[in-house]
Structure 1
Amino acid sequence: MNFFLVRWPGEPVLLNVYDMYKINEFTSNIGLGVFHSGVEIYGSEYAYGGHQYPFTGIFEINPRDEKELGEQFRFRQTIQIGYTDFTEDDIKRITNELGKEFRGDRYHLMNNNCNHFSGSFTKGLSRFILCGQDIPPWVNRLAYFSSWVPFLERCLPKEWLMPMALQHSLSCRQDSTCSEASTPQY
């Protein structure tokens, strides 16, 4: 009897995409939707948002939990990006390192947003290569398009910068009454 050792490809790396505004019901069909994204791995989702402080804007939520993000977010779909051999501890170290680049005070709706973070995290634009695959271009198409139409950025609401989950993380950082499990360590 012959036995073959089957090697699993590693941990799945998933991209969770959210519609950020009801207008997507109309505009996403022409390729100009407004989307938020986060990378899901090992049962957690990592995303990026803006705030005024010079530390990480990366936060962790339960995967596909649009309520944790806020009322302007609606879960759209999950896209499998690839697989990784990094461990959970490695992922924590990587997000900690990426937090130096993706600080809250460096968030920019068009040039350094949540979708840029997701692409950097999955493709490995920093020194870490999670799975070597980029996110689909349509997820961040509006940011690219707006670089050609500068006034568009001024038309978008500023509250899109900070999801509720990031607001909670900031509150926990300033308030020692939050449980350690809900406070990001990056």
Structure 2
Amino acid sequence: MFSNGISCNLPFSCMSVTRDSGSEELLPSRMAREPILLNVYDMYKINDLTSNIGLGVFHSGVEIYGTEYAYGGHQYPFTGIFEIIPRDERELGDQFRFRQSIQIGYTDFTEDDVKRIINELGKEFRGDRYHLMNNNCNHFSGAFTKILCGQDIPSWVNRLAYFSSWVPFLEKCLPKEWLMPMALQHSISNHCPDSTCSEASTPPY
């Protein structure tokens, strides 16, 4: 059971221990060494003006084992988590611009462990549960990194969510297409290629 209440059945390879022949002390079998990167994107040119005063609109994804995982909104009751080539803003759409990578920490979860974690997180971060202020891509990134290495993402990345409590109309001022990057639209078409997803390009937000 993870700290945020998400349960996941993972192998114990990352927590296995060895016993030194000359010592009764149990030691980890290996050190955490897979880097965890947070890739941050500007979501609008206005960030060039507002970021200097600490307010910006940002998208983020978590890069690990050569894949970047991110979250977006759609109207269906299945995962809104999708994968892209790390830092490839073209897969996200014209309104996204890569800003910077931040190293959050290291993990000893294996690549298979990470995929299982993503599957479990997808039950919470469903497309139809996306909310720009309360359950957005940055909330997902923070939940993911805390599971991987116990570290949250920098608070400034999701500062817009905190400002929304002071400026309640702000959410209505942002374009709806920001909720669903191009890569997520492609992911949805692969998830349900029949007509049930024919309207995936127009999420009801």
Q: How does 1:105-116 map to 2 (within 5 A)?
A: 105-116=128-139
CA offset digits 1:63-119 (Å, max 9, x no partner): 000000000000000000000000000000000000000000000000000000000
Give the alignment of 1:133-172 within 5 angstroms.
133-172=151-190
Q: Which runs of 4+ in 1 moved over 3 A?
A: none
Letter in 2 for 1:12: P
Whole-angstrom CA distance in 2 between matches of 1:146 and 1:131: 29
Root-mean-square deviation (Å): 1.1
Letter in 1 for 2:156: W
The reply to whether residue 70 of structure 1 matches residue 56 of structure 2 is no
Unaligned runs of 5+ in 1: 1-6, 124-128, 177-186
Identical positions, percent: 87
* Equivalent position of 2:38 in the other structure: 15
Write the letter of the residue equivalent to 1:80: Q
Give per-residue Cα distances to partners, 1:15-59, cap 9 Å, x unaligned: 000000111111111111100000000000000000000000000
SS at match of 2:141: helix
Once the two structures are TM-superposed, the CA of residue 175 in structure 1 deviates from its matched residue by 2.6
Instruction: Write the distance in 1 (CA, Å) between the matches of 2:133 and 2:98.
Output: 21
TM-score scaled by length of structure 2: 0.78
Report whether the alignment pairs 1:35 with 2:58: yes
Give the TM-score normalised by the residue count of structure 1.
0.86
Paired letter, 1:85? D
Match of 2:192 among 155, 167, 174: 174
- CA-CA distance at 1:8 after TM superposition: 5.4
SS in 2 for 1:63: coil
Q: Give the length in aligned residue pairs.
A: 165
Q: Select the structure of larger CA radius of gyration.
A: 2
Question: 1:79 matched to which residue of 2?
Answer: 102
